[in-house]
Amino acid sequence: MSFDQELLNLFDAYVHGSIDRRAFLDRAQKFAVAGLTATGILEALSPRFAEAQQVPKDDKRLKCEYLVYGTGRIRGYLARPAKAAPKLPAVLVVHENRGLNPHIEDITRRLALANFMAFAPDALTPLGGYPGDEDKARELFAKLDQTKTREDFVEAVSWLKSRPDCTGKVGAVGFCYGGGIVNMLATRVPDLAAAVPFYGNQAPEADVPKIKAPLLIHYAENDERINAGAAAYEAALKANKVRYTAYVYPGTQHGFNNDTTPRYDAAAAKLAWSRTLELFEKQLRG
């Protein structure tokens, strides 16, 4: 099923809290054709986790567990190869603005299959954790104390780095909200080994001089909200001689890597993911 760009932009506004569910349904009504209602459109655009799962939760090649880190306040999902070297480099996985949902857990397992220790915190832990419903998760997300949440992710990097089964090298990858968190982590963690933001908000220009990690930045072509800050960010990265590579994937939508929704672009996602793994291999194992 294909969707009009205006409708996709409307859905992006809904997903990111600019409009509520009722406003989305009211404005999406004009796209309801061939018996498809506005509610049906929303359902078609919403995630289908089971259908898109690439790595089963019980995959025997992996050891996966839920645990709390640091002060014990935040819960997360840790995945690593079942048969691995005593120490592995680690990758922090930062979710979208819905918390630790099944898609992010699947991403974490994919990294573990690539022979990394991968850890995905759930920022919603203080509010009860990911509720199993995307709409409820977005509602909860708006109630988070983002200052504390950012510190929780900074702490997660330190916790990973200090684990006895970690080599001490930690990279970070994040999507949408998580992409913005990864840009932030690059300014806050001087020894971050690599940072890969997927279509995330850029770090403030004043903080760019603090970035030491190499950046691999993935943008969707049809993503006005995020791309509005791209040129200024790149100018600041260049001015401060930050190592970075930025790609814009033609014809793609915000969220193109998320294979649970119609915005997924298989070719772009495959290419972006291969580039991501290539950077992690180079920076975390070198």
Tell me the mean pLDDT in the region 225-248: 98
233 vs 13, residue with greater confidence: 233
User: Which residues, 6+ apart, have CB-to-CB distance to 196 below 8 Å?
Assistant: 171, 172, 173, 174, 182, 215, 216, 217, 218, 276, 279, 280
Q: 109 pLDDT exceeds 70?
A: yes
Confidence of residue 212 (pLDDT cuts 50, 70, 90): very high
Residue 5: what pLDDT?
85
Give tens-digit pLDDT for 161-185: 999 999 999 999 999 999 999 999 9
Residue 34: what pLDDT?
65
Architecture of domain 49-285: 3-Layer(aba) Sandwich (3.40)
Q: 1 pLDDT exceeds 70?
A: no
Confidence of residue 121 (pLDDT cuts 50, 70, 90): very high
Express as a percent the part of the chain with pLDDT over 90. 77
Dist. CA 40–CA 196, nearest whole Å: 34
Lowest mean pLDDT among 26-35, 149-158, 219-228: 26-35
Tell me the mean pLDDT in the region 67-96: 93
Dihedral class, residue 37 (left if φ above 0, else alpha if ψ from -120 to 50, else beta): beta
Q: 57 pLDDT exceeds 80?
A: yes
Give tens-digit pLDDT for 21-49: 888 888 888 887 766 788 887 787 777 77
Q: Which two tokens stand for residue 215?
A: 């950046």
Average pLDDT, the chain: 93
Task: Locate the domains of the chain by residue range.
Answer: 5-45, 49-285
DSSP string of 134-182, one letter each residue:
HHHHHHHHTTS-HHHHHHHHHHHHHHHHHSTTEEEEEEEEEETHHHHHH
